[in-house]
Each structure stands twice: as C-alpha cells, then as structure tokens.
Copies of this chain bind each other. A is one copy, B any other.
C-alpha cells in the first residue's frame, strides 16, 4: 500500500529513510512529583519535552511519572537505564523539604553534594534581583552532586544537572515548565548536537485558522488530506483560541521536506484562504498588530462581556504599544453611556446585547481613544445571563473603521472562560477580515 503510493526516486529515498529508525537513540522521560499522581497537576512537561525532541529528530520511547520518593526515583532511573540511552528527568529540585531528587541522584551516581560556585552566584543574583532575603534553604540550592555537569538555569534557582555513565546520558531539570523549556533549548539540545546523537529529519509546519469548526474544516480539506504523500502526517490540534493543523514530514533531507510541505500549504491556502490567519507560533492579536503597523494605524477596544481580555490579548505581544492605544471595559450601562457615549435611547430600544449598542460602543471607543479602528463586544458569556429572546452565549461584536462600522452576532456554547477566549478571538479576527477587505 505504502509503496504503491510512492513514485519517483526522491519519494522512494524519503520512504526508505523511514526505516533507519532503529539506529535512533532511545529516550525516556521521568517526571517526579506527588502532585502528578493525585491529579493535582497535569504533566505538561512530558509532552513539551516530547515535542521539542520530536522537532530535534529524536523520539521519546516512554515517559514515567513517579512520587517524590527517594527509593522510587532510584528504581525508576535504573529501570529506564536498562531500556534507554538518554534519560531526562524533571521535578523535585525546589528548595523545600518535599524535593528529594538531588539526594537520590547522589545515591544513584554514588557521590556527594558539593557547593557549586556558579550556581551560588546565580541563586544570590536572582534573590537580590527579586529583593528576597537569603535564607538557609537557599544555601541548599547551590549544592549539586559532585559527579554532575551543571547546566545553568538563567531564570530560576535550580540548575540542570547532567550525568554520563556507560555511554548513557542522564539529565535532571527543574519541574517548573518555563525553566525546563529554557534548559532544553539553551543547554540540552546543544549538548546532544555536540554529542552527535543520530537523528532523523523531521519538519513541522503549523497552519493556524479561525472561524471554522473542526468537522467542517476536515470536510472542506478531505481530498487535500487524502492526497498528502505518505511521509507527511496531518494532525488537528484545536484549542479555544484557534484551530491548528500541523503537517509533519519525516525523511532524510530537511530541505526537501520543507519544499514539499510548503507546496502542500500553498494547496491548502487555495481551499480555505479566509480562515488561515497565521503559522507556527503566531497569535491572532500579534498578526493583526502587524497588519495595523503595516498601514501605520492604531486600534482601541470597548469591551463588555470579554471584560478586558481583548486588550489583554493585544498587550501580551511585545511592542503592542506601537498599534494598541487602549480601551474601555464597560461592565455597566452607566459606563457605556457616560464613558463611551452609547445613547440611552439605543439601550432602551434595542437592549444592551444588540447590534446597535455594539456599534455605538465601537464608534464611541474609536472617538474617545482617537484610534483608526475600534472593536467592541457585548453579550452573555454565561453561566448566568440571557433572556427569552437573547439566549445565554449570545455575543454581538462590532468593528468601527474609517469607512463605517460592521457588527455580527455570535453564539458561544462553552463555559464562561472559554466563551470569553472565543469571543475575544472572534472579535480580533473580525478586525483582521475588515482590514483585509479594505486593502482589496
């Protein structure tokens, strides 16, 4: 079947390369923390590391989550060592008593804790910066197992610790996701590159879409999907903020994989152009921000039901002050009237959740903040609110621009928090389409 699909030298070459897998190093992840096993915390580190290594060209063969328990840590590492070549460990490195990973590592690699000068300086520097008085517990933070190579943690006090034994690599990292993420990219990957571990070529491309459901999208792109070459895998990765399609190409020649993936993306763009707003790590507000800057224009917001979240999405992007001037969160009719200038008659005649009020809010914000564009939202995001005529989940969104305003009604059917996110993204997407329509 597979072979039948493949034609031509190039594809055959890629096809064959799929079978070099067995040469690959085996990687296992061990995440440590009681909270992971009683359902207090979801283990996001394992999947994050899996994703990073996958992009790097290594595949995780197994992940294990265990308790903050000295003996279990040692048992798990020794079992992982039997199966894998690279063992990545997260968790249990904080200053507090429930963290005992370091002692277990000392016993496993049979060495003792010693003070480390560079870690000491880092800990003291961070505490100073944070204006936190140094205490005895911090002293423990710059003790590391004698046999480890320290991997500096630039944003936290607990360093990464690397051990090598019988051609196997063991790396212990903090459980704080951000710190683990930084260490993976700044220390672990460069180390593995230097080590020349055998990898396969993988190329991922994420296509970000908005304004379409998973099922109707997959219906629209079905023939494109089935026509994908066998070495390119498609994954649907939706979340409340956006729909994401990920193409993953596996082969031996990254450049060629890139070329073929771009070719497929171009095909896709022809099928669903209006829904694609960005790629890879883009976010909707940042993409719209670039559009605004390109036209040297600015935006403001008037938020009722989204309660400041649209402003938050814009201002989460560094440099947003170049195009985002500000906004008004009008959670009461008084503020809609007195600050945004919504007419009392409009509120009385059409009620607060209406096309008319959303437009007066957007135009009011545009005037008050003297911006080129303004976005407004008014609605019921739940769980309470809603009337006989205007059901819970109803949100009116308006965009005001230089050449008039548009408004649209949406119905969101999830919980309050996700409805707020969806309404915010829908609003920013409306501005995106509004600006694009002006350009045309």
Interface residues of A (CB under 8 A from B): 34-44, 46-52, 54, 59-67, 72, 76, 79, 94-98, 126-127, 129-133, 135-138, 155, 178, 204, 213-216, 218-219, 225, 233-237, 246, 248, 301, 303, 306-312, 314-316, 318-321, 324-332, 334-335, 339, 368-370, 382-384, 411, 413-418, 420
Quote the shortest CB–CB distance from A279 to chain B (angstroms). Answer: 14
Q: How far is the CA of A5 from the CA of B229 in the complex (A)?
A: 66
Number of this chain's copies in the assembly equals 2
Q: How far is the CA of A391 from the CA of B320 in the complex (A)?
A: 19
Q: How far is the CA of A248 from the CA of B130 in the complex (A)?
A: 30
Cβ contact of A178, chosen from B95, B216, B321, B415, cutoff 8 A: B415
Q: How far is the CA of A34 from the CA of B131 in the complex (A)?
A: 45
Cβ contact of A52, chosen from B35, B39, B61, B136, cutoff 8 A: B39
Query: Using Cβ atoms and an 8 Å threshold, which residues of chain B touch A97?
Result: 218, 225, 234
24 inter-chain pairs at a CB distance below 8 angstroms, sorted by A residue, are: A34-B248, A36-B50, A37-B60, A39-B51, A41-B47, A41-B237, A42-B43, A42-B44, A94-B236, A98-B234, A130-B213, A130-B413, A133-B216, A137-B219, A155-B415, A303-B311, A307-B314, A307-B320, A307-B324, A315-B331, A315-B420, A318-B384, A324-B331, A326-B331
With contact pairs A63-B64, A97-B225, A137-B215 given, residues A312 and B315 touching in the complex (Cβ less than 8 Å): no
B64 touches A62 (CB 8 A): yes
**Which 8 A/B pairs are nearest by Cβ-Cβ distance?**
A39-B51, A307-B315, A308-B311, A308-B308, A39-B50, A327-B329, A308-B312, A38-B54
A135 touches B215 (CB 8 A): yes
Query: Using Cβ atoms and an 8 Å threshold, which residues of chain B touch A130?
Result: 213, 411, 413
Among residues of B, the one whose C-beta sits closest to the C-beta of A76 is B62
